[in-house]
Structure 1
Amino acid sequence: MPLPAFASKLPDVGTSIFTVMSQLAAECGAINLAQGFPDYDPPQVLTEALARHARTSGHHQYAPMPGLLRLREEISRKTAQLYGILPPNPDTDITITSGATEALYGVLAAVVRPGDEVLVLEPAYDLYGPAIRLQGGVPVYVPLLLPDFRPDWERIAAALTPRTRLILVNTPHNPSGAVLTDADWQQLATLLADTPTLLLSDEVYEHMTFDGQPHRSALQYPALAERSFVLSSFGKTYHATGWKVGYCVAPAILTAELRRVHQFVTFSVSTPTQHALADVLAEAAHYEALPDFYQQKRDLFAELMAPTRFELLPVQGAYFQLARYATIAPGEDDVRFARRLTREAGVAVVPVSAFYHDGTDHGLVRFCFAKQPDTLTAAAQRLHKW
């Protein structure tokens, strides 16, 4: 008997551009600077801790639904120290999730109701829009101002309505590397002060800001913290994206709603992995060194790319580099250019139009510089030769 016809919940959504470009890179033998993952391993102390806990009796069954208490306690300590705030309550304010991706989806599933509007600042990570729509929500897109990808506060204010359930921000920003300033956060706090609107702050690149500029978190602004879900990623911080461990910090009343969803999605996260992370999180040296570590990669990549005809945009944070290609292929759309670059030059990138819901094309591509120096050197040589 044939299956009955049914309407897709996401009829216009295909395979992620990151998967598409990575597959094309593999087919062409290209250097993959498209997908945002390092080509180096986590710190040895972390992998050794994981091996140790994998051999420990009792560390192979379900962890508590909110996460191991000792890991949540370490996160509380670290968060208070890093941002100069009162420690979040590890019992009621912190939830360990299967990557920040699960946390983000869980937040949206917990608080967005059919017909609710969610403000999204574009360009934006491609998960945001579909995850909102799957809850019956309505994404309301507000473009960031080029060339610096700054928030357009007038347009954001105009987009706020009584139906706005949530505003979603990302700092440091993927794909542009822009960071929110103190003035930005103050402006946002003022806009939301007399509204019931919640805030979802995606801060997975929190330890990657450059040129002496600090990362500012929503948690540092009391008027925002009381209405915020703040997301972090161990995968990004410890070069272990495949481990898929993240967490969410939020007030108890909001955390309770996230956990209502989390318990029915993944329930809990890998037990030995959480033990290993709790071991290493007590030592701040690794994440304190990340700004310099990634700034050196940013600067090396810029130096290597100087002989090419790509125009590199400023990068304040995260580990991505946007580049204009107008002098190389004037008028060519970014998807076609990215595919051609992968096939002909042997370097895979992401077209920035993929970060816009309507495919807005500004003639930009995104490189990931979270790579070994040899990888970046080989990629730049191929691009220069091409």
Structure 2
Amino acid sequence: MTCTALPAATPDLATPPVAPAPMAYAQWVAAAVALARQAPRPIVSLFESAVPEPRALLRQAVLATVEPDFSPRYVSAFGDGNPFVRAMLAQSHGVDIDQVLCTTGATGGLALLYRALLRPGDRVLVEVPGFDLFAGAAQVQGIGVDTFTRPAPHFGIDVEQVAAALRPETRLIVVSDLHNPSGMGIPRDTLVALAHLAQARGVLLVVDEVYGDYADKASRPGPACALSPAVISLSSLTKIFGLGVLRCGWIVGAPGVMATLRDYAARAEFGVSTLSHAIAAEVMLRADAFADHWRSHVARARPRFAAWFARMVDAGLMAGELPDAGCICFPALPGIADTRAFSEMLIAQSGVIVAPGEFFGQPGHIRIGFCLPDAELDAGLAALEAALRQAAGNRLAI
């Protein structure tokens, strides 16, 4: 059989070419993993920001859903989501069940928020550094994006700066707590001030809380949506429970805004999986066991990483602070401006993957996820240290 090449398209010289969108973080991770797989050695995923998947506990939840017969919680998730998941979330958030909407993960929830609440000409205000989809999911809809800075090393929020960045067209302020990529928490008084600002200015404050439960109750007594009708909480089972495979997320907010979101979801959102959210219901019934899983992993990994990180800071190879909770941090790499190039060199040399700051809007930094088994964590940190020392030596040799 002879294959004939298709003729090349004739360019329309009167129409300017469309510039490709910048590479998204998820695209870079896929390319990074592909690069790491080219060498016959283990990949160390220091870019991961979740705890390891709890497979034994997940297997129990799956079996409880389907064996010996389908669980009573195996019901349609069409529309608002699995009613058992919604009821448990309503109870934990202290709201009515109609104030809870299940989504296909937190990223699916973010996209739904933007599609349901934003119109041409609207704008969103997002944090920098921050999760690239906060801006990217708006930009693909043609929504304008403005930013405010969360400066290192504490990555705090200046509420006056946020207020000054608001425009008449701003509809949403979007933040993360705990912060992605730094893991730093928003002090409660700052979050209260942001909620009051949003309510006074007639905008909505969306708080991504996927890492929130790592924080203790003293610093984070409850979800942000409890602070004001102008606040929406967004979260999932992905980071804390290590269950990204279930794609179970949720949105919680005031009755009026949730009615709008539920109406939109009923018209256009059909991707929530009945099976995976039924399993999620079984997970939530066993929440204590899953919480023990993440707490044990963080309790073991944090001291190992903290000791290593302190040595790197003392040696001048890193700068910054370790957050009080969780399993990620976002240090600066002194003397390394192009952290994407550094990260790709690290992959090629050792198969270790860290997340470049460029994808969070802050070159010169990397995000490290350190909730890994001991041997894997030690090997990854050793390779990262060797690359940092090599880079420092090269600078001294110039």
Q: TM-score range by the shorter chain?
A: 0.7 to 0.9
Q: Are the counterparts in 2 of residues 206 and 215 from structure 1 also a CA contact under 8 Å?
A: no
Shift of 1:3: 9.7
In the alignment, which of 296, 300, 306 is matched to residue 304 of structure 2?
A: 300
Q: Does 1:325 align with 2:336?
A: no
Q: Which amino acid aligns with 1:63?
A: A
Shift of 1:287: 5.8
1:346 counterpart residue number: 351
2:46 counterpart residue number: 33
Q: Does 1:54 align with 2:63?
A: no
Per the alignment, in what secondary structure is the counterpart of residue 324 of structure 1?
coil
The 2-side partners of 1:8 and 1:108 are apart by: 28
1:277 counterpart residue number: 280
Structure 1 residues 14 and 322, CA, compared in 2 at 3 Å: closer, same or farther? closer
2:260 counterpart residue number: 257
Unpaired runs of at least 5, structure 2: 1-6, 388-398
Q: Which amino acid aligns with 2:20?
A: P
The 1-side partners of 2:272 and 2:125 are apart by: 30
Structure 1 residues 9 and 183, CA, compared in 2 at 3 Å: closer, same or farther? farther
Measured against aligned partners, the alpha-carbon deviations of 1:108-127 in whole angstroms (never above 9, x if no partner) come to 11111111121101111111
Shift of 1:292: 6.2
Q: Are the counterparts in 2 of residues 117 and 137 from structure 1 also a CA contact under 8 Å?
A: yes
Q: Are the counterparts in 2 of residues 25 and 31 from structure 1 also a CA contact under 8 Å?
A: no
1:89 counterpart residue number: 96
1:190 counterpart residue number: 196
The 2-side partners of 1:110 and 1:45 are apart by: 35
Q: Which amino acid aligns with 1:70?
A: F
Q: Are the counterparts in 2 of residues 21 and 350 from structure 1 also a CA contact under 8 Å?
A: no
Q: Which amino acid aligns with 1:232?
A: S
Shift of 1:241: 1.3
Alignment root-mean-square deviation, CA: 2.9
Q: Does 1:115 align with 2:121?
A: yes
The 2-side partners of 1:153 and 1:144 are apart by: 11
Shift of 1:283: 4.2
Q: Does 1:19 align with 2:36?
A: no
The 2-side partners of 1:350 and 1:237 are apart by: 19
1:336 counterpart residue number: 341
Bigger drift between 235-244 and 93-102 goes to: 235-244
Q: Does 1:382 align with 2:383?
A: yes
Shift of 1:299: 2.2
Q: Does 1:124 align with 2:130?
A: yes
2:77 counterpart residue number: 63
TM-score with structure 2 setting the length = 0.82
Measured against aligned partners, the alpha-carbon deviations of 1:79-117 in whole angstroms (never above 9, x if no partner) come to 2xxxxxxx2111x11111111110000001111111112
Shift of 1:304: 3.9
1:242 counterpart residue number: 245
The 2-side partners of 1:3 and 1:110 are apart by: 39
Measured against aligned partners, the alpha-carbon deviations of 1:220-249 in whole angstroms (never above 9, x if no partner) come to 31xx2x122211111223211122111111
For residues 189-228 of structure 1, the aligned pairs below 5 Å read: 189-209=195-215, 213-214=219-220, 216-221=222-227, 224=228, 226-228=229-231
The 1-side partners of 2:242 and 2:57 are apart by: 13
Shift of 1:373: 1.8
Q: Which amino acid aligns with 2:126?
A: V
Measured against aligned partners, the alpha-carbon deviations of 1:152-202 in whole angstroms (never above 9, x if no partner) come to 222211111221111001000110111111111122133223221011110
Shift of 1:22: 2.7
The 2-side partners of 1:8 and 1:141 are apart by: 28
Shift of 1:14: 2.6
Shift of 1:130: 1.7
The 1-side partners of 2:132 and 2:267 are apart by: 24
Shift of 1:271: 2.1
Measured against aligned partners, the alpha-carbon deviations of 1:21-46 in whole angstroms (never above 9, x if no partner) come to 333333344412124344x3326344
The 2-side partners of 1:370 and 1:135 are apart by: 35
Q: Are the counterparts in 1 of residues 82 and 278 from structure 2 also a CA contact under 8 Å?
A: yes
Give identity over the alignment, percent.
Answer: 25
1:368 counterpart residue number: 369
In the alignment, which of 113, 130, 149 is matched to residue 143 of structure 1?
A: 149
In the alignment, which of 162, 172, 191 is matched to residue 168 of structure 2?
A: 162
The structure number with the bigger radius of gyration is 2
Q: Which amino acid aligns with 2:38?
A: E
Q: Are the counterparts in 2 of residues 118 and 166 from structure 1 also a CA contact under 8 Å?
A: yes
Per the alignment, in what secondary structure is the counterpart of residue 211 of structure 2?
coil
Q: Are the counterparts in 2 of residues 21 and 349 from structure 1 also a CA contact under 8 Å?
A: no
Structure 1 residues 212 and 89, CA, compared in 2 at 3 Å: closer, same or farther? closer
TM-score with structure 1 setting the length = 0.85
Structure 1 residues 263 and 374, CA, compared in 2 at 3 Å: closer, same or farther? farther
Q: Which amino acid aligns with 2:355?
A: V
Shift of 1:266: 4.3
Shift of 1:385: 4.5
1:84 counterpart residue number: none
Per the alignment, in what secondary structure is the counterpart of residue 27 of structure 1?
coil
